[in-house]
Amino acid sequence: MLAKATMQSSSPRPRLVMKFGGTSVANVERIKNVAQHVKREVEAGYDVAVVVSAMSGKTNELVAWVKEASPLYDQREYDTVVASGEQVTSGLLAICLQAIGLKARSWQGWQMPLRTDTQHGSARIGEIDGSGILKSFAEDGAVAVIAGFQGIEPKTGRIATLGRGGSDTSAVAVAAALKAERCDIYTDVDGVYTTDPRIVPKAKRLDKVAFEEMLEMASLGAKVLQVRSVELAMVHNVRTYVRSSFDNPAQSSPGTLICAEEEIMEQPVVTGIAYSKDEAQITLRQVADKPGVAAAVFEPLADASIVVDMIVQNVSADGKTTDITFTVPSADYARAMDVIEKRKDEIGYELLQGVQDVAKISAIGVGMRSHAGVAAKAFKALADRGINIRAITTSEIKFSVLIDVAYTELAVRTLHSLYGLDAA
């Protein structure tokens, strides 16, 4: 992917990609502040490409309008509507940059172009043609202000969006395509923390996080970076920093570097705790204990593109049959229940139960590879606080527990203290 990234080196200046999220461009005042951050880097000698999100709350508003227009909407028209938020901020930032004496030009996804696959609403990036931007760097050094989150589906020529939080991915992909020295993701916190600093005030900022850990943290709920942006940073080895746009624009803050594991000297057993409230639990009671039953349950879910996460199978109360419990993303809950209900006879279960008010709490750390009993400690600590564990999954560098949503904050804080992550 990104194969068409241009190799021209007509510009002698190093290149930098700066991305600003919704709260960083929430109004014109904030956009003027972003312009100051950009100015600092231009003056430091960089050719700068800036990727912007929509103003905070704007994308939610646009999505709500689409749903109000029709609950069953055309995904291509959804993209037409929701991509508009980034168009506004890219133009406004270009104007603010010009107003402080910098050359700047806005670029929509179709203008670069940033080509995507056909999955409207959550498209993946195929390739980015960076030649137009590099030409403009070479010609007049204009800052390229890119509308994040959007691209063009080349077969139809229609606008496609990259899924919620997708501007992070636009930024890293542009950095790879332009062969930028680094990609700075500016947001409303000054780095990646040991857990969401909004729910644990004692969370600590990390100087560095390994790609693998960041990938797990993002996919397990830490929305500070979109998962795909981390994948891209890892594959293309893009030096990616998370920084705050709320810091004084006159000096840049250290932020958090997402990098290869080898670059991190001291590796704690657990690096971070993530949580997600976007889970739902489904249980099939009294399923016959015979070969082929698991396939009968999970194949139709896979066919419906529903991702099943945690799976627990245990003996039913009658001692003869089994109960099968699993989790799905809450957005797919109704569809998953429908798929299983329609196959009741084929699967052969007594009762179908669904629970939506559950949360998944995860602990992540590459240090877990070489330490035993890390998860066991957590089970005990949660039990001591009366928190019931509904399901568990473990893998090499993380484990997750499913609990009642009401205990989310308590569980996150408990694990954060347990693994010595609290700030002094």
Q: Which C-beta is closer to Mg ion: that of 164 or that of 335?
A: 164
- On whether the CB atoms of residues 167 and 86 are closer than 8 A, the answer is yes
Q: How far is the CB of 224 from ligand ASP (least distance, A)?
A: 11
Q: Which C-beta is closer to ligand ASP: that of 167 or that of 252?
A: 167
**Window 79-138: residues binding ligand ASP (CB under 6 A):** 85
Only segment of 158-166, 288-296, 317-325, 393-401 that touches ligand ASP (CB under 6 A): 158-166
**Window 12-51: residues binding Mg ion (CB under 5 A):** 21
Q: Does 167 bind ligand ASP (CB under 6 A)?
A: yes
Q: Does 149 bind ligand ADP (CB under 6 A)?
A: no
DSSP helix/strand/coil, 128: strand
Q: Which amino acid makes up residue 93?
A: L
Q: Does 187 bind ligand ADP (CB under 6 A)?
A: yes
Q: Which residues pair with 47 in a beta bridge?
A: 15
Q: Which C-beta is closer to ligand ADP: that of 30 or that of 39?
A: 30
Q: Which of ligand ADP, ligand ASP, Mg ion, none interacts with 54 (beta carbon under 5 to 8 A by kind)?
A: ligand ASP
Cβ contacts of 337 within 8 Å, gap of 6 or more: 282, 352, 354
Only segment of 195-203, 329-337, 354-362, 363-371 that touches ligand ADP (CB under 6 A): 195-203
As a whole number of angstroms, the distance between CA 153 and CA 21 comes to: 24
Q: How many residues can be counted in the chain?
A: 424
DSSP secondary structure, 304-330, as one string:
TTPPP--EEEEE-TTSSSEEEEEEEEG
* 125-128: strand order across its sheet: 125-128, 114-116, 150-153, 158-161
Specify the residue for token string 């992909």: 173
Q: Which residues pair with 152 in a beta bridge?
A: 115, 159
Only segment of 166-174, 272-280, 318-326, 350-358 that touches ligand ASP (CB under 6 A): 166-174
21 burial (CB, 10 Å; 0-12 / 13-18 / 19+) is buried
- On whether the CB atoms of residues 161 and 217 are closer than 8 A, the answer is no
Cβ contacts of 18 within 8 Å, gap of 6 or more: 37, 38, 41, 48, 49, 50, 51, 171, 184, 186
Q: Which of ligand ASP, Mg ion, ligand ADP, none interacts with 23 (beta carbon under 5 to 8 A by kind)?
A: ligand ADP
Q: Which C-beta is closer to Mg ion: that of 25 or that of 415?
A: 25
Q: Does 53 bind ligand ASP (CB under 6 A)?
A: yes
> Which listed residue (31, 35, 50, 54) binds ligand ASP by CB under 6 A?
54
Q: Does 174 bind ligand ASP (CB under 6 A)?
A: no
Site size with Mg ion, rule: CB under 5 A: 2
Q: Does 53 bind ligand ADP (CB under 6 A)?
A: yes
Q: Does 189 bind ligand ADP (CB under 6 A)?
A: yes
Q: Does 149 bind ligand ASP (CB under 6 A)?
A: yes
In 21-113 the beta strands, taken as DSSP E runs, fall at 47-52, 104-107
Residue 214 tokens read as 């960041």
Which run of H or E residues covers position 32? helix 28-43
Q: How far is the CB of 1 from ligand ADP (least distance, A)?
A: 23
Q: Does 221 bind Mg ion (CB under 5 A)?
A: no
Q: Does 222 bind ligand ADP (CB under 6 A)?
A: yes
Only segment of 112-120, 162-170, 357-365, 397-405 that touches ligand ASP (CB under 6 A): 162-170
Buried b (16+ CB within 10 A) or exposed e, 225-259: bbbbbbbbbbebebebbbbbbbeebeebbebbbbb
> Which string of x and - marks every residue 5-44 that binds ligand ADP (by CB under 6 A)?
----------------xxxx--------------------
Q: Which of Mg ion, ligand ADP, ligand ASP, none interacts with 166 (beta carbon under 5 to 8 A by kind)?
A: ligand ASP
**Phi, psi (rounded to 5 degrees) for 416:** -60, -45
Sites of contact with ligand ADP (CB under 6 A): 21-24, 53, 165, 187-189, 192-193, 195-198, 222-224, 272
Sites of contact with ligand ASP (CB under 6 A): 21-22, 53-54, 59, 85, 148-149, 164-168
